[in-house]
Chain A
């Protein structure tokens, strides 16, 4: 009540939070700009990039070392952080809209684990794919396999948790645990089969990190994430209607089944691509939409773009923490987001106990 009331004062019309949501969008865009600049200038190398940035802006020659750090290490990492942060937050918001409850998070209910299984399978078994397929897919086999893994798990989870247009929170969470356990077990089999070089790659999935971001990886994940994010505006109205239930949404003229399929595909594409390049980074998908619903309300037309921006901001901030807290070494970012997100998730759970009785 208090939050809605405070939003009213900004917009003038009682219960209308649209103006506040637009202002938040602007604010987050500015914040993303600031965090991006900070992210470019903070790092283990100690290179003074403020000076280098200034030189670049004045059109002067930048030193080779600065140029490499700036353009080949930090810039791809920045772009990847923005893409992955936006992808995870929007995927979380879309998934919560689809499942009609705020506890659905790709990391919690096995969707990320499914993506990880797909990626693991390609790393370990990719050599067994037919040569022509390998040649056609090239590097893209990794994000595509992750996408397939997350798509199948999302689809399965939706089938398990939803009966006659109603989603059970308890069945969704428990079904998610079962799916995550199953996919993790299959990943375990793959790890058992892997050789040393493959093991090093696999360890990376468990932790989640933006380290090792390259322009190649940006090019791998970028297209899938951009496609998934581009679908979001078309889903927003449908997700709003779905909050009323599937039948009421259909009565509002929403092609419910088609929209559900698009939502599941875009969640899978965003999570699959994000996991393929950065491993399992948890909790962004639950923390970001939840905070935003408190601030601007649940209208997906505003929630989704705001989530993209706040997801990017939070992931870049977490990345800066992960780079500086034990510098010059680096803490995997998945550990940072889990440390912050775990208690936050418990807080949501305790605040919404009644949700679990549904």
Chain B
């Protein structure tokens, strides 16, 4: 499992995260939500060592600060928010970059299989920089998937850390990608995603951490965390949580500042 305790991050002298505790189990999607500037991306970046942090982060019981980079690369992959690539690589070449971390040469067909899973079969020969933002995001996801292809390894779960994995996708591809992540988790892998869309989060995440002003104000199941009061306070606007009639999945609707209620 992933366990972060007492995480504090200062960026440019200003505290962005203070005393954050966060945990995630493999087997289900764990989401980090919160308003803009609440520190969700910073928390993900701390847990992937992209920013210096105070506190302790354990992945499968090992402190990531003292685990060698190549060992971590075999265990976890990280999807960045927006990604430009410096030179004109083809889609196939980008996906293959993800496989450089493995000790043994992965089978030739893995890149094609990864592209298939993100619905980009036939894009192999296209240039990455000529694709749309949403297509680039899915190519990057295929690259990240090809890095930790099997959800579990001999030393336990493999982990995907994703910063807004569906932010520039249309609704069909959002569902496709979220389902893919769910499958990965159900195969035994760990998935930690910073999410923007609360309804998608409610639909797919088993555990949700809500960040507000650099602190975790709640972590639990969608039913526990998503309440009118908590979300309205965190996002500083009036939100109403209802439930999908048939399966009880919460959905969140904004309420305009009407004079009633």
Contacts and interface: CB of A to CB of B under 8 A. Distances in A.
Contacts of B91: 15
Nearest to B74: A253
B105 to A, nearest CB: 13
B69 A15 contact: no
Interface in A1-43: 1, 4-5, 8, 13-17
Given A13-B92, A14-B92, A245-B80, A253 B50 contact: no
A100 B85 CA distance: 8
Contact of B83 (A13, A100, A248, A255): A248
Contacts of B125: 1, 4-5, 8, 14-15
Contacts of A358: 84
Interface string A69-105: 0000000000000000000000000000100111000
A352 to B, nearest CB: 10
Contact of B50 (A97, A240, A247): A247
Interface in B47-97: 48-50, 69-74, 76-78, 80, 83-93, 97
A251 interface: yes
Given A1-B127, A253-B70, A248 B92 contact: no
Given A4-B90, A13-B92, A244-B85, A250 B101 contact: no
A237 B88 CA distance: 16
A298 interface: yes
Nearest to B98: A252
Contacts of B71: 253
B238 interface: no
Contacts of A5: 125
Interface string A205-249: 000000000000000000000000000000001001111110110
Contacts of B70: 253
Interface string A46-75: 000000000000000000000000000000
B83 to A, nearest CB: 7
B93 A297 contact: yes
A7 to B, nearest CB: 8
Given A244-B85, A248-B78, A252-B147, A17 B93 contact: yes
B69 A250 contact: yes
A298 B72 contact: no
A251 B73 contact: yes
A240 B100 contact: yes
A252 B97 contact: yes
Contacts of B87: 102, 243, 293, 298
B233 interface: no
B89 A243 contact: yes
Most buried by A among B48, B49, B69, B71: B69
A102 B84 CA distance: 14
A330 interface: no
A4 B129 CA distance: 13
A102 B88 CA distance: 10
A16 B111 CA distance: 11
Contact of B93 (A251, A252, A299): A299
Contact of B92 (A15, A243, A251): A15
B96 to A, nearest CB: 9
A237 B80 contact: no
Given A253-B101, A297-B90, A15 B126 contact: yes
Given A248-B83, A293-B87, A16 B98 contact: no
Given A5-B125, A15-B125, A240 B97 contact: yes
B74 A245 contact: no
Interface string A315-357: 0000000000000000000000000000000000000000000
Given A4-B90, A252-B73, 12 more contacts: A14-B122, A16-B90, A17-B93, A97-B86, A244-B85, A247-B48, A251-B48, A252-B97, A253-B70, A293-B87, A298-B89, A298-B93
Which 6 pairs from chain A and chain B are nearest by CB?
A253-B73, A15-B92, A298-B87, A15-B124, A14-B124, A100-B86
Interface of B: 48-50, 69-74, 76-78, 80, 83-93, 97-98, 100-101, 122, 124-127, 130, 147
21 contacts: A1-B127, A4-B90, A4-B125, A4-B127, A13-B92, A14-B92, A15-B92, A243-B85, A248-B78, A248-B80, A251-B48, A251-B78, A253-B70, A253-B71, A253-B74, A253-B100, A253-B101, A297-B88, A297-B89, A297-B90, A298-B86
